[in-house]
Structure 1
Amino acid sequence: MQKDFYKDWQKHLEHLDEHYRPDVFFGESNRPDNNSVGIKDDFNGEDFFDQEIEEEGQLSLDIYQDEKNVYVIAPIAGIDPKNIQIILEQDVLTIKGERKKQFEIEEKNSIFRECHWGNFSRSVILPTVVKEKEVEAKFNKGVLEIVLPKREEGGAVKIEVNRGKSKPLDSARD
């Protein structure tokens, strides 16, 4: 299957060659002979497909709320709490970490592999604004629990219209 994919990829790159113009700053200036190049040259043939791209696992979450708080529950078994990073940026909560493999099992001895070892990350948009300085996180028996106290939003404000002479905007700015 990989060989078929490689052939299809090469055909795709050949088609793109018609429209390809190498970047003068990063492309031709770094080439010793400044010869015309195609997009396939930049992808370096089969070596491009042999490169390892680090996999990142996704974290399962339960999120619920009551009148006062938003709660985030994440089962993260097999991790040291020191390897968990929680970032709150406005209304986006991100949980990152690394689950380190404690042992090595040879591929040929594996029957079924479902566990993700290595980096994981998950970002979610919270349903409301929260009090950033009051967020609490606990890790107990492989479960991360984050409590995010809700913050009152501005809400609707009724603005009264007064009678009177209006001022032109230009004179009001002076």
Structure 2
Amino acid sequence: MYKLYLLLLAFFLISNTAFTQVGINTTSPDPSTVLDVNGNMRVRTLGSGPIYSDANGNLTNSGPQVIAAGLVQANGTALKIFGATVSRTNLGDYQVTFATARPSANYIINLATIDCMDAGACDYDDPGITYYNRTTSGFAINIGDSDNGGTAKEDIDLEFTFSVIDF
């Protein structure tokens, strides 16, 4: 019986200390945390620069990154391009292909067209730009003009910019 008592006491002491808080540079760690650091913190495996936390609280120094970007003429010729190639596939349609495929198709696409009303270089009053067929290797773009509700959208070729962000 005495041995059982000692065994239970040892188990209680070990399990009690296994779930305590650790405080660094503090004598009273915050009871709601496992690790309480009072002062500057250094993580040796992270390089210089900003530090980001993901949805699970994991730290990394690789936050959102620009994967691809471009300024493309109406004929599909890229004036400025990074991380991708672009080709005009049809009237108003363009294909963006990444230099390196992404691990998933859940990246962020930003698109814009030139403002025809202020530029005076085109006759379109309501151009719109959208993407479709998003895959790990790229996506397609459609540019069209509507007459503000009277008829269906008409595909047009127009200068545009794009950027792709991933994290």
Work out whether the TM-score is over 0.5.
no
Whose helix fraction is larger, Structure 1's or Structure 2's? 1
State the TM-score, normalized to the length of structure 2.
0.29
Whose strand fraction is larger, Structure 1's or Structure 2's? 2
